[in-house]
Amino acid sequence: MKRGADPRAVAAQALDRCVRGGESLRAAFATFSTKLPDSRDRALLSALLHAGTRWWLRFDRAADLLLQRPLREHEPLVHALLVLGLVQIEILRLADYAAVAATVDAARALGRPAHANLINAVLRRWLRERAALATGLDRDDVSRSAHPRWLLDMLATDWPGAVDSIVAANNAEAPLTLRVNGRRASRDGFLAQLTNAGIGARVVPGLAHALMLDESTDVTQLPGYAQGLFSVQDGAAQHAAVLLDAQAGMRVLDACAAPGGKSAHILEKADVQLLALDSDPQRLPRVRENLERLGLSAQLQAGDAGNPADWWDGRPFERILLDAPCTATGIIRRQPDIKLHRRAADVAALAATQRRLLDALWPMLAPGGRLVYATCSILAAENSRQLDGFLADHADARGSAPALDWHAFGGGVQNLPGEGGMDGFFYAIVDKAT
């Protein structure tokens, strides 16, 4: 098979698109992976892009220490390639000589042959002086942790005793967790299928349908994928449908449904009338595809949950799931580009959106009904303080903390990144008085 473009040169372009262009890691990978026909090269691109965004705030600074004249402004692709060279050595733990040689070759593949010798010299200097240079980087909290200052400050306020553990979890790769489709397979039966195929997996305590794989893999190649026996869903997210407790025949709203994982789980658990709503109509085809693969169906609707006049038919819902838009600070280990794209100002803006959605959805909930408020954030402004403010302003709202062995966080519960092998997630149950 033709190998296609140099994967490290492609990775430098994709990383620059994420850092300077503000594009998501997922979108950049989708765009640039098309240049690499070989699956091995695509796997390397994924590894480089994840590690490059995860550790940018450390090795971007390291590159400056190694250069008399920074490359960032006038040669951004070479700068990104140099960061990736350091990442290969320190994070991916490739053989030193191989990482240096391949990065030098990538400079030529990028059309920057004049910089090949510079990259070679800089990376070799790092190898000679790495201990002293690393010590210097560790003196600054940002370059030590590879987390932006605003986020470190908020974590220190909200979770003063857990900052180091949160940072460590964010800088580690997340495990791959599956949710077995209970309508088509049992968890134990599917686990046996995986075992027979030589794939290591284990059950996740407290979740009836979750399996955590020993190693990440291409899930489309797992047994049962085409037959809809499972979905990919982190264990923390699998609690949403359980807490919602939708019963057969109920009218249910998933207010921010895309890509459809929680909608599917709700339908797997009970025969309900589900409306899967999302503000972005371009994301709904993916929801439909996911449901169809699992043998499920729902009413799909494009619309802003905060503006029900455009889509609501006036009939109340007995259950509402609001997995609200948030900073996603609980899933940085899966989407490390969040550290590069989020800003402190986003917190207040997203908190305002969350409150707008809560206020708009509440009148749609039937008396005696339940709303589950969820975010993949770990910040108080989006979670505990958001819930407290909503309950204070709605006399018919009865908040309760879910019965999960997580951290009590205001009137809800919070899992921090990595705890139980799961993502950072917040849940609160709000029941409506009859």
Q: 């849940």: which residue's tokens?
A: 427
Give the H/E segment covering residue 322: strand 317-323
CB neighbour burial string for 1-17, b if at least 16 within 10 angstroms, e if fewer: eeeebbbbbbbbbbbbb
Query: Does 326 qualify as catalytic in the annotation?
Result: no
Of 18, 256, 326, 376, which residue is the catalytic one? 376
**How many CB atoms are located within 10 Å of the residue 166 CB?**
26
Q: Which of 222, 221, 226, 234 is nearest to 179 (CA)?
A: 234
**How many CB atoms are located within 10 Å of the residue 99 CB?**
22
Q: Which string of DSSP letters, residue by residue, matches 189-220? A: HHHHHHHHTT--EEE-TT-TTEEEESS---GG
Find the distance separating the first CA and the last CA of the chain, reported in whole Å: 66
Measured at the CA of 176, the angle between CA 30 and CA 51, to 5 degrees, comes to 55
Look at phi and psi of residue 30 and say left if phi exceeds 0, alpha if psi is from -120 to 50, else beta: alpha
Position 247, amino acid: Q
Q: Which of 56, 22, 41 is nearest to 81 (CA)?
A: 56
Beta bridge partners of 365: 317
β-strand 412-415 against 365-375: which pairing, if any? unpaired
Q: Which two three-digit tokens encode residue 393?
A: 């302003």
Residues serving a catalytic function are 376
